[in-house]
Amino acid sequence: MEALILEPSLYTVKAILILDNDGERLFAKYYDDTYPSVKEQKAFEKNIFNKTHRTDSEIALLEGLTVVYKGSIDLYFYVIGSSYENELMLMAVLNCLFDSLSQMLRKNVEKRALLENMEGLFLAVDEIVDGGVKMSPSRSRLCLRYCSQQRNRSSGHCFGEDSITPLLPSSLPKPFVYCDAPTPPSSSLLH
């Protein structure tokens, strides 16, 4: 008989993935050892992409795991959990992720916009799930903060270009120096 009664646990999410329309990894965070090596992870991502990118249904069972997913223009978002996990709980995580990003990117959820806001993505995911435990109930407030900040500073600026316009020193908050800011213990580590 299968182990029907679940061990109650807060560890809900096994992985969060974002792939582009070629199935290439843009973002991947695995929270447990289901796929320990990069090779296994990539193989899993390939399988997942092949099975899902042509259909618009939002849920599937793959390799014994429940996968909820959502596509947007040239991006595919996946949240993966155990097949015994409450599917709606996983869906809540996916919706939270998607809503946060869509707010951050001002509804323009596509590859280029996302790549320009990678740091926002990293911060958002960190705020939504920590070590496999769901953190925020709905779209994270962080993103609101993050997003307004970005807009104030330089709207539409693109990372990755050679000429990063330096901000005027006056527009930055005054640098604050910690009296006990860490200093490296030995110089040998630095060289």
Which residues in the 111-130 window bind other proteins by CB under 8 A?
Answer: 111-112, 115-116, 118-119, 122-123, 126-127, 130
Q: Does residue 9 sit in helix, strand or coil?
A: coil
Yes or no: say if 140 and 124 are a contact pair by the CB < 8 Å rule. Answer: yes
Burial 77-107 (b: 16+ CB within 10 A, else e): bbbbbbeebeeeebbbbbbbbbbbbebbbee
Q: Which is nearer to other proteins, 83 or 107 (CB)?
A: 83
Q: Which is nearer to other proteins, 107 or 117 (CB)?
A: 117
Q: Does 46 bind other proteins (CB under 8 A)?
A: no
Q: Does 53 bind other proteins (CB under 8 A)?
A: no
Residue 102 CB, nearest approach to other proteins (Å): 18
Binding mask 146-175 for other proteins (x = CB under 8 A): x--xx--xx-x-xxxx--x-xx-x--xxxx
Strands (E), the chain: 13-20, 25-30, 59-62, 65-72, 75-82, 129-130, 133-134
**Helical packing angle, 141-153 and 118-128, nearest 10°:** 160
Q: Which is nearer to other proteins, 41 or 102 (CB)?
A: 41
Q: Which is nearer to other proteins, 11 or 102 (CB)?
A: 11
Residue 184 CB, nearest approach to other proteins (Å): 4
Q: How many residues contact other proteins, by CB under 8 A?
A: 86
Q: Does 176 bind other proteins (CB under 8 A)?
A: yes
Q: Does 184 bind other proteins (CB under 8 A)?
A: yes
Yes or no: say if 104 and 146 are a contact pair by the CB < 8 Å rule. Answer: yes
Q: Which of 56, 152, 163, 168 binds other proteins (CB under 8 A)?
A: 56
Dihedral sign (CA 92, 94, 98, 100):
positive
Residue 7: C-alpha distances to residues 84, 85, 150 (Å): 10, 11, 42
Amino acid at 144: L
Q: Which of 33, 88, 163, 168 binds other proteins (CB under 8 A)?
A: 88
Q: Does 29 bind other proteins (CB under 8 A)?
A: yes
